[in-house]
Every structure is written in C-alpha cells, then in structure tokens.
Amino acid sequence: MSEITVITSGKGGAGKSTVTAGLGYALSQHSGRVLLIDADAGLRSLDLMLGVGGTTMYDLADVFAGNCEPVRAIYPSPVFQNVFVLPAPIRLEDMCTPQEMRSLCRGLAAYYDQVIIDCPAGLGHGFDTAVAAADRALVVSTPDMVCARDAQILGHLLEEKHLRTHLIINRLRPAKVMDGSMPDVDEIIDTAGIQLLGIIPEDEEVAVANANGRPLPSACNAAVCFGNIARRFLGDSVPLARLEKM
C-alpha cells in the first residue's frame, strides 16, 4: 500500500496546492502513479493546476453521496503524466467526515504509488478530515515569522497524531535573505521546530504554470527544487542548494 501524505499550512496562501502539484509531478517521475486528493472543499484549486478544470463531472462529495464509484471521480491529468486528481466538493458543507476520508484513502492507496492530500489552511474540520488518512505530513511555510510560528503549532498537533512531519519553506527570496532583509533559513526552521525537507524559491514560473494548468519548465529553479525534494521525500540524501545558486 502506498504512503499517504497531507500537505498543510497554518496560513492561507503559503503554497500548499503548489507544493501538492509540484511534488506530485516530481514524484511521478521517480515512483510511478501519484494520486492528488483536493480536500479544500469550497476553495478547490488542484483541478485547475492539473489542467482538468472545467472538464470534471464528479468530485469527493459525489463519491460520499453514492452518485459514483471513486474511480469515476478521479481524473488523469492531460499534461502531468501519471498524475491523477480527485477534486474537492464545490460546497464546504458537502465535505466528508474524517472517518470517511480515512477509509476512502486507505482503499485508494492500493492503486497508486503515492497519495497526496491538499489540506485547507488552518485548523478545524477541514484540517481534521484531511489529516485523518495520512501517514506523514509536510508543513508549508513562507519565510516569515508569523507563518513559521503557525507551522510550529501545526507541527505539535501533527506530532500528537503521530505523523512523520517535515517542513517545506516556499517563496524564499535568496537575494533578500543574503542582504539581511528577510529571516534566514535557520531562523525559520528554529521557529517552526520541524525538520526541513526542502526550500522552493520565489519563481515567476510557478505562477505561470499554476495559472495555465501545466507543469513547471524542467530547468526552472522551482522545478529543480521540487525534484530534489521528491528525492529526499523518497529517502535519498540530497544536499540543499546554496542560496546563491537557487
């Protein structure tokens, strides 16, 4: 059975969906079929990022309402080879319970090499539901102290739930760190209190790829970082890139 990973953040907009899509794509190039589950009911975004926006008929709510078998609500991305997406309910109130999410994901995990769940921001029912199925968690933080402190709170909650948890720092601007106008990586890690898995720089290619529902160009900074994060995620030892090379 594949591993089930949840991508979380305390603050909205930290980059959870971007990391779900970018890591999902990078993992598909190393470890086969990857299922991305959008658990952000009411504010879904993975369907657009994966290039299936506007073409989907069923979503998580339909699976639990008995309108379709799970397989009918899972769509292969036309542009991210070997990546599949299960869209979130359109309405927040149609989200399933944590127990339902757990049993669905455990069943689906037999058919994919990796399952990644995109969590809504913050805490509450959406967080509890997305986390219920997971074996491990990635907490996404931008390089600011407020976001890092929220990451620390999430880290404690995830630890209580016995999830193996790592930190991803997203939207780092190396030049700003080097000139001292943004906190450095060690400060963020110390505040979050979570072991670092990797760093993704601010990269305009990310916004372009997300907006057009296509993968990042393979040579761009963010794509190289996602590739390294995927290898570390799978257990390889890959050194962090130096800031000036990012």
Ligand X SMILES: Nc1ncnc2c1ncn2[C@@H]1O[C@H](COP(=O)(O)OP(=O)(O)OP(=O)(O)O)[C@@H](O)[C@H]1O
Cβ-based nearer residue to Mg ion, 35 or 177 = 35
- Does 148 bind ligand X (CB under 6 A)? Our answer is no
Which string of x and - marks every residue 25-64 that binds ligand X (by CB under 6 A)? ---------------x--x-x-------------------
* Contact set for Mg ion, span 13-32 (CB under 5 A): 16-17
Distance between CA 16 and CA 20 in Å, rounded? 6
Which residue of 2, 6, 10, 16 would you call a contact of ligand X, by CB under 6 A? 16
Residue nearer to Mg ion on the CB measure, 49 or 246 = 49
CA 222 to chain centre: 14
- DSSP 8-state code for residue 112: -
Q: Should residue 10 be labelled a site residue for ligand X when binding is judged by CB under 6 A?
A: no
Is 207 among the residues that bind ligand X (CB under 6 A)?
yes
Output the smallest distance, CB 93 to Mg ion, in A.
19
Q: Measured from the CB atom, is 46 or 109 closer to ligand X?
A: 46
- Amino acid at site 77: S
Residue 101's nearest CA partner among 64, 68, 69, 72 is 64
- Sole window of 82-90, 143-151, 201-209, 235-243 interacting with ligand X (rule: CB under 6 A): 201-209
Can you say whether residue 235 is alpha, beta or left, with left for phi > 0 and alpha for psi between -120 and 50 degrees? Answer: left
Cα distances (Å, whole numbers) of residue 241 to 2, 9, 29 = 29, 23, 20
C-alpha span between 57 and 134 (Å, rounded): 26
Ramachandran bin of 193, using left for φ above 0, alpha for ψ from -120 to 50, beta for the remaining angles:
left
The site for ligand X (CB under 6 A) is made up of 9, 12-18, 40, 43, 45, 121, 170-171, 200, 202-203, 206-207, 210, 222
